[in-house]
Structure 1
């Protein structure tokens, strides 16, 4: 099986697609206005929305579920999320967490990106499929699920060895959306920052060298290197 990784969107909010001969797996679903850029990116790889076999959410925050319900309701695409975050992903119980430090410029840039890409029109998935820690999902790329609670109770790392990639959602960021600070750091809006850091330790020995946060550019290096950089910030 050949596999290709597509990064769709930008460093503020991105969707990732694992493209194979069997079809496409999406990691997170961006913002509600991202259907056009998703369609164009898949077309450039010779695929369409009907080739998407499933969406896996790293967690259920509104800036990660954007086009999920459209794909589910109009194209029959199943939406997968850890059971502990199903309430968040479906909007039944919305997360509240402190933002922490912020600077006007970066915060406005994040807000503008969200508004421009439909961030006020969130459509939460009406149905999701529960997945569990340790599952290897029968989707293109054979993604493996690793529970990393902290940012939310049901946050997941998604490991896809076929493209040497690990997706961490909002456990970490490499560009803080509220301060603009760059480099590996714990992300804002986390329910339990200390638990996030503890959960990340489960990933230290993984061999993947392409690490993707929910916000910010790709980190090139192993999880061990990322954690060392994270801890060096104090």
Structure 2
């Protein structure tokens, strides 16, 4: 599904991964759940592309619903997987989050759990190798994605800014659809390690010349970075 020119989504508003399409190849942002593999193949086919066109996977953080098919791509197809050094251990399964989810609504939780189960969430494989990155790096991948540190949701949570598609991918630094309550609009994401730090970190987005915000959960949001930060903090 095309979100904006050059950006495609695999998955839905509950859990998704995203593809940046360029003539030089594809950069994947996050890796969803294991069951997204056939969905990825179908999306690539619709684009007239294949697995070999994927040049790299950039993880916004190392949680299980963002790493789903990353190890399969790395192991079977030699696709490098990039993650912030502070989340490398989490992506390898050496550490995990014990953060609380906060408020819940039965219908939203049931929908999230059912989708995650259907897409193999309990079978997520951790990475055995990663390429560690740091705040401020521009990666040697299609679209020249830029890493912006947004610690809080996890120690190595990042945004990935791709100027060529006017889009910043924020992972779980914020959400536009809370998977536990169903509430929509820019807001803090559940299961955040340090909610205060997460909100403070959003200031790093304020200077970006981007007009599209794409989270790991929820629909894309368009507008100024000042507006998305203000709404998330409200």
Q: Into which bin does the TM-score normalised by the smaller protein fall?
A: over 0.9
Corresponding residue for 1:221?
A: 223
- Report 1:1-234 matches (<5 A): 4-231=6-233, 233=234
- Structure 2: distance between partners of 1:227 and 1:172: 9
Q: Which segments of 5 or more consecutive residues in structure 2 lack a partner in the other structure?
A: none
- Structure 1: distance between partners of 2:173 and 2:146: 17
| CA contact 1:211–1:222 (8 Å) conserved in 2 | no
SS of equivalent residue, structure 2 residue 122: coil
SS of equivalent residue, structure 2 residue 9: strand
- Structure 2: distance between partners of 1:85 and 1:174: 23
What is the CA distance between 1:230 and its match in structure 2?
2.2
TM-score, reference length from structure 2: 0.96
What is the CA distance between 1:229 and its match in structure 2?
1.9
Shift >4 Å, 4+ stretches: none
Residue correspondences, number: 230
Q: Which segments of 5 or more consecutive residues in structure 1 lack a partner in the other structure?
A: none
- Structure 2: distance between partners of 1:163 and 1:35: 24
SS of equivalent residue, structure 2 residue 64: coil
What is the CA distance between 1:202 and its match in structure 2?
1.3
- Structure 2: distance between partners of 1:78 and 1:210: 26
